[in-house]
């Protein structure tokens, strides 16, 4: 039997962590490959890890066909829904999958609209007013959250991580080293600071996240005597000063992360020497 691997499909969903892969391998070695691999023609669309493990250890497996797809995008949507139905998928993975589904559906709707416009008759008379186009599926954050089974606030954080997080930080949140909320906070730092914080370890990474969140809190109310002295200060100056303080505290958190990473590297070098 010829089974073809499509790299785009294989990389489309998040890979298993090392521990998850090892657990799956132990299970297959002990019980065999209980679930059939799913094929679209000769293309593997479900069971990439099981297929790799079975080939590695020469273990027999079964396959079933799913020929209901018209395009590779249909396959991707099916894979997303298939993964979202699993309880073991983390909130971060659920959000990423739902956002990928949104991207596919949005692109498909846009292509259909452009195709309809291109095929419209070209005449001199004004065409009757068409009904407003329906919004694409999953056009709101709430709809994406509903598909993912998580809160809209979590989707907002995942979108931020998706846009600004360094790959090392993405891997840390995917592996559960740092929470979604903390990762979104660290993602607001420069990329170099994010990488340094991750390299420093779980404890330092969480500390940096806490410092970034604290830096963004509104300044504490001044004491009564200080407040009387500053009554004449223009509100704009006070706001600018508060913003500058928050900026400096964020920079301080980034510098601490970098120092921690350098210290860890030096300690490792000394031990190696």
pLDDT digits (tens, 9 = 90+) for 213-261: 888 777 665 565 555 555 555 555 555 665 566 667 666 776 777 666 6
CA 122 to chain centre: 44
Q: For residue 263, what are the domain limits?
A: 172-273
265 in any annotated domain: yes
Of the candidates 46, 69, 92, which is a domain's last residue? Answer: 69
Most confident of 64-73, 84-93, 211-220, 226-235: 64-73
Query: Is pLDDT at 100 greater than 80 in this prediction?
Result: yes
Question: CB-based burial of residue 160 (10 Å sphere; 0-12 exposed, 13-18 middle, 19+ buried)?
Answer: middle
Alpha helices in 69-201 (DSSP H): 72-84, 91-118, 141-148, 152-164, 167-174, 180-186, 191-200
117: in domain: no
**Which pLDDT does position 18 carry in this prediction?**
83
Does the residue 163 lie in any domain?
no
What is the torsional sign of CA 205, 207, 208, 214? positive
Q: How many CA atoms lie within 13 A of 107 on its CB side?
A: 9
Q: Which long-range contacts (CB under 8 A, 24 or more apart) does 152-156 make?
A: 154/91, 154/95, 154/180, 155/95, 155/98, 155/99
What is the C-alpha to C-alpha distance for residues 1 and 66, in angstroms, rounded to an integer? 16
Does 245 map to a domain? yes
Domain count, the chain: 2
CA distance 164 to 157: 11
pLDDT value, residue 263: 66
Question: 236 lies in a domain?
Answer: yes
- Give this prediction's pTM: 0.72
In a domain, 229, yes or no: yes
Q: What's the gap between Cα 79 and its chain centre?
A: 17
Residue 86 located in a structural domain: no
Asked if residue 105 belongs to a domain, the reply is no
Angle at 89 between CA 86 and CA 91, to 5 degrees: 130
Query: What pLDDT does 115 receive?
Result: 84
Q: Rounded to 5 degrees, what are φ and ψ at 66?
A: -130, 100
């Amino acid at each position: 039997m010829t089974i073809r691997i499509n790299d785009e499909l294989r990389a489309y969903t998040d890979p298993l962590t090392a521990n998850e892969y090892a657990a799956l391998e132990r299970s297959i070695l002990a019980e065999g490959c209980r679930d059939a691999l799913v094929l679209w023609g000769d293309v593997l669309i479900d069971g990439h890890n099981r297929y790799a493990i079975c080939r590695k250890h020469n273990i027999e497996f079964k396959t079933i066909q799913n020929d209901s797809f018209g395009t590779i995008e249909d396959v991707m949507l099916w894979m997303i829904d298939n993964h979202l139905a699993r309880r073991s998928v983390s909130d971060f993975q659920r959000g990423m999958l739902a956002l990928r589904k949104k991207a596919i559906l949005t692109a498909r709707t846009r292509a259909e609209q452009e195709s309809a416009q291109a095929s419209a008759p070209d005449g001199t008379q004004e065409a009757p007013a068409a009904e407003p186009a329906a919004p694409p599926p999953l056009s709101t954050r709430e709809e994406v959250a509903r598909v993912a089974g998580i809160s809209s606030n979590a989707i907002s954080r995942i979108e931020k991580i998706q846009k600004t997080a360094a790959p090392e930080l993405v891997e840390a949140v995917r592996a559960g080293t740092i929470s979604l909320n903390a990762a979104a906070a660290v993602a607001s730092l420069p990329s170099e600071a994010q990488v340094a914080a991750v390299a420093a370890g779980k404890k330092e990474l969480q500390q940096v996240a806490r410092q970034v969140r604290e830096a963004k809190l509104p300044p504490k109310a001044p004491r009564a005597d200080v407040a009387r002295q500053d009554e004449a200060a223009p509100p704009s100056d006070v706001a600018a000063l508060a913003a500058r303080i928050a900026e400096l505290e964020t920079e301080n958190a980034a510098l601490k992360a970098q120092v921690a990473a350098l210290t860890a590297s030096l300690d490792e070098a000394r031990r190696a020497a």
